[in-house]
Structure 1
Amino acid sequence: MKRVLVTGADGSIGRAAVSVLRAAGYGVTGLSLRYDHASTADRAVVGDARSAADVTAALDGVDAVLHLAAIPHPSLGTPEEVFENNVAATFNVLAQAGQLGVRRAVIASSINAFGVPMNVNAVEPAYYPLDEEVEADIADPYSLSKSVDEQSARMAWRRWGTDVIALRFPLVKTREELLRFAARAENDPATMAREGWAYLDLRDGVRAIIAALESTTPGAHVVGLAADDILIDRKTDELLREYAPTVPLRRPVEGRASLVDTTRAQELLGFRPLYSIHDQAVSAMTT
């Protein structure tokens, strides 16, 4: 792998990923509808991830794809716009890459792909910790789009032999942004209960992306991600008793332990998070 195409290259995760990839010595082609920030990509392209022509041109000389382009929340467009944009962009990027012989892709899925966190109905997860097989209950266009994206990844592998990792990101922000989110969540913990108060430091998000791009694992896989602890500075079991008392807990949790099972990330990608909003020693290099 010498050159990576990054779609959504001007987004927060996209900019961070481009910078780290460049620092690691990779050539990076960035694709974005527009650039509101200076890009560190050595080839910055303005284009639409839904356009076959734009994506084909951006794929010139590319060995792997990181697809991040999306409308990231159902409130940022009509239901039709959110669903159609996200699904069309993911399918198009994977299809053009597959037809051109690109054999490695990483796409951004979401913890919302199982539908419960954004569900308008009074539903709860089937169990904690959340894993990639948790039962889906979808009632919004964004969550539906991410679920379909994961199916598109499987299709790309079966149709073109493209190995695809779909990363289920939780809340991913810089430490400073996470602290602000944590302060709001402390005031109303119920708002994040259905996603298990999950988060991931942006630096770990990019580390997971690099691990997925450099992985030689064949096939199409959905991989859940989260920090090793929860966003709120309270004990996890106390929060569960108060805000999710009827949700089965599949294994005991101690302290601020995460409610996302990241076993697959560890086994397939060799990835464990390093950073905690609570500054605890969360280091895969020392455990």
Structure 2
Amino acid sequence: MKRVLVTGADGSIGRAAAIGLYADGYDVTGLSLRYDHVSTADRPLVGDARSPDDVAAALDGVDAVLHLAAIPHPSLGTPEEVFENNVAATFNVLSQAGQRGIDRVVIASSINAFGVPMNVNPVVPAYYPLDEDVRADISDAYSLSKSVDEQSARMAWRRWGTNVIALRFPLVKSRKDLLRFAAKAESDPSIMAREGWAYLDLRDGVAAIIAALESSVTGAHVVGLAADDVLIDRPTDELLREYAPTVPVRRPVAGRDALVDTSRARDLLGFSPRYSIHNDDHTVSAITS
């Protein structure tokens, strides 16, 4: 694997991924509707991930694909726009990559794929820690689009034998932006209760992407991601008692333990998060390793 296509290349994760891939020795083709930032991709292209012609041109000489292009929140378009854009782009990229015999595609799914965090109804998760099999309850177009994207990944594997990893990203930002977001969330922790106060440092997001691209695992897999701790600077069991008292907890929690099960990321991809906003850039495990 030498050249990787990154769709959504001018988004925050896309830009960071292009930098990380370049640093690891990969050639990068970028595809974005526009570029508002300088791109490190050696082949930056302007185009739409929904367009067969644009994606076909972008796939020239590509060995693997990182598909990030999407409308990232239900508030950024009508339900029809959000759903149609995200599902059409993912299916177009997967189908064209599959027909070209490209062996590996990594797509951006979301912690919202099971629907509860953005649900308009007063629902709660079936249990904590959240895992990839938690029961879905979807009431918004964005969450539905991510759920369908995961199904599209399975279809691509069955139809073309394309190996697809769908990464369920939580809140992903730089350390500076995470600290800013955490300060706001501290004033009302209930706003993140249904996603288990999950977050991921952008550097860990890039590391997970590269691990997925370089993985030898076959098939189509959904992989949940999160830091090893919660975003709020309070004990996890205290947060649960106050903001999610009715949700079953399947394993004991201590300190600021995370409420997302990331064992599949470790087992399939060999990935474990390194960074925490609570410990001077690194988690304890990273410092002692």
Same fold by TM-score greater than 0.5: yes
CA distance in 2, matches of 1:159, 1:20: 31
Report the more deviating stretch, 277-286 or 62-71. 277-286
Residue 247 of structure 2 corresponds to which residue in structure 1? 247
Residue 146 of structure 2 corresponds to which residue in structure 1? 146
CA distance in 2, matches of 1:154, 1:225: 19
- Spell out, residue by residue over 1:233-276, the C-alpha distance to the aligned partner (whole angstroms, 9 max, x if none): 00000000000000000000000000000000000000000000
CA distance in 2, matches of 1:7, 1:286: 36
Residue type matched to 1:32 in 2? S
**Runs ≥4 residues deviating over 6 A:** none
CA distance in 1, matches of 2:13, 2:284: 21
CA contact 1:228–1:282 (8 Å) conserved in 2: no
CA distance in 1, matches of 2:23, 2:276: 24
CA contact 1:116–1:124 (8 Å) conserved in 2: yes
Residue 137 of structure 2 corresponds to which residue in structure 1? 137
Residue 281 of structure 1 corresponds to which residue in structure 2? 283
Q: CA deviation at 1:23?
A: 1.0
Residue type matched to 1:91 in 2? F
Residue 230 of structure 1 corresponds to which residue in structure 2? 230
- Match of 2:106, SS state, is strand
Asked if residue 58 in structure 1 is aligned to residue 58 in structure 2, the reply is yes
CA distance in 2, matches of 1:84, 1:247: 33
Tell me the number of residue pairs that the alignment of Structure 1 and Structure 2 aligns: 287
5+ residue gaps in structure 1? none
| TM-score, normalisation: structure 1 | 0.99
CA contact 2:228–2:283 (8 Å) conserved in 1: no
Residue type matched to 1:200 in 2? L
Residue 187 of structure 1 corresponds to which residue in structure 2? 187
Asked if residue 38 in structure 1 is aligned to residue 38 in structure 2, the reply is yes
5+ residue gaps in structure 2? none
- Match of 1:66, SS state, is strand
Q: CA deviation at 1:56?
A: 0.6
Residue type matched to 1:105 in 2? V
Q: CA deviation at 1:282?
A: 3.8
Residue 122 of structure 1 corresponds to which residue in structure 2? 122
Residue 206 of structure 1 corresponds to which residue in structure 2? 206
Residue 95 of structure 1 corresponds to which residue in structure 2? 95
Identity of aligned residues (%): 82
CA distance in 1, matches of 2:220, 2:200: 23
| TM-score, normalisation: structure 2 | 0.98
